[in-house]
Amino acid sequence: MQCSVYTTISKPGVSLSTVRDVVFFVLSELGSDAQVSVHLIGDTRMKSLNKKYRGKDKTTDVLSFAMGDGERWFGEILDLGDVFVSIPQIRRQAREFGVSFKHELVRMLVHGILHTMGYDHLRPKDAKVMMPLQGKLVEQVIDKKMV
């Protein structure tokens, strides 16, 4: 497993090693030895990405860009893709939902990782698979006091 964490903001509110630990835990729980990149960004960059790739001219909490269909070359680590998290949006949502910043960050990080692994929630039958799995993983991270 590999995880690269990048930040373009000065105070992300969580250590990059903590983000890596959460990613490693989630990948391990899902039986994956893949790699993923996480980008902790601000609203301006998130709004730009959301407009470019989803046609929505506003910020959002998390965007995932999966690398593809999961093929890999012999001996190569599978690259799941990139997860972009808007730290200011996570702070707003934490206040709105009455949870800690770190809890909301974990929720959105898990959400993004699941998307890179092919999970989706657009159709009700898919949401019935993804959302309980997301909830279970978030609770396990919180229970283990990883954040």
Rounded distance between C-alpha atoms, residue 134 and residue 116, angstroms: 13
Query: Taking the CB of residue 99, how many other CB atoms lie within 10 A of it?
Result: 15
The dihedral region occupied by 118, where left means phi > 0, alpha psi between -120 and 50, and beta the remainder, is left
**Closest to 55 in 3D by CA, of 73, 104, 1, 63:** 63
Tell me how long the chain is: 147
The domain made up of 2-143 is a member of CATH 3.30.70.980: no
pLDDT in tens, the chain (147 residues): 899 999 999 999 999 999 999 999 999 999 998 999 999 999 999 999 999 999 999 999 999 999 865 555 555 678 899 999 999 999 999 999 999 999 999 999 999 999 999 999 999 999 999 999 999 999 999 998 887
Q: How far apart are the C-alpha atoms of 53 and 5, rounded to whole Å?
A: 21
- Given the structure tokens 């206040």, which residue do they identify? 95
pLDDT at 9 (0 to 100): 94
Nearest 5°: phi and psi at 33?
-110, 25
Handedness of CA 101, 12, 52, 72 (dihedral sign): negative
